[in-house]
Amino acid sequence: MFLTSNMGSDVRVIVLGISQDGGFPQAGCNLDCCEIVKNNPQLTKHSVSLGIVGSDGTKHLIEATRDLAWQLNLLNSVKSDEFLLSSLWITHAHHGHIDGLGLFGKEVMNYDKLNVNCSESLSKLIKNTPNWNLLVESKNIIVNPFIGSKIYSPSPNCGFKIKPIKIPHRAELSDMHAFLIIGPNKNLLFLPDHDTWKSTLKFVEKNTIRDWFYSEKIDFALIDGTFWSSDELIGRNQTNVPHPTVSETLKLIGKKKTGDPIIKFTHLNHTNPLHNNSSDEFLEVKKMGWNIAEEGEIFKI
């Protein structure tokens, strides 16, 4: 881990999880990939999430996962003098990104008016789902729908802003938004899920990944690395679980060039060989100049 304290007034983004929704190991998996973790618990990875510590010391969370206890402890180890969150941001309604929302209720943390920021469609889903709407009625959370790609300041003096960017991804329950975190010095893109690069680039009206990242002045990009290849989808069709594979992304971006942002893959499925830092696939990513996100890693923006 890369935990560092007493880092002054910088805005810091902390990686709180790098796994796909099911975690690593994943429930119901008896494959070698998960059996190895069962025998070596230190290899455990948590559902994808980020924490942000503002320049004023306020704390902010992206995604409400089932691993909140571990993730909030990790966030508090970066800055421990203020426990409460100032805001929560949720990308979309798929299970691992929101299944911890109920932990803010009276049965666990009993939060008081936590600002939950999400899209209009996800806001409606929360209010139409009885166990989540109870959080609204009990004033554990206040749901703040964001509109389009407007830029928001999570709190008055936090020193950073967030720009939601709508992205094509399976929308059975809600739409999906990536988040551009705009710091005083650098910008970080959080793109844990999307369907295909073709559909995403068409949606943001750019021809290439680099065109898009350069246009948003992105310095760090944490992007969808769910599967290394479609071979991991045993007995399933990729059209039902759409994500661009890491191998495809590497073909599209090639080797790192001068001026490129730092790109790291996150949201790794339990079957992804990138969990193993000795694998050929991991070494290939590194050889091309890119990397895999690590839990506890801190980006100063």
Contact 13, 218 (CB under 8 A): no
- 12-300: CATH topology: Metallo-beta-lactamase; Chain A (3.60.15)
pLDDT on residue 233? 63
Consecutive H or E run containing 189: strand 187-191
User: Rounded to an integer, what distance in angstroms lies between the CA atom of residue 105 and that of residue 166?
Assistant: 28
**Weakly modelled stretches of the chain, pLDDT under 50:** 1-8
pLDDT on residue 95? 87
Max CA separation in the chain (angstroms): 52
The pLDDT tens digits for 140-182 are 999 999 987 799 999 999 999 999 999 997 767 789 999 999 9
Q: 213-231: string of b/e by CB count within 10 Å (b at 16+)?
A: beebebbbbbbbbbbbeee
**Token pair of 116 as six digits:** 């939950």
pLDDT on residue 239? 53
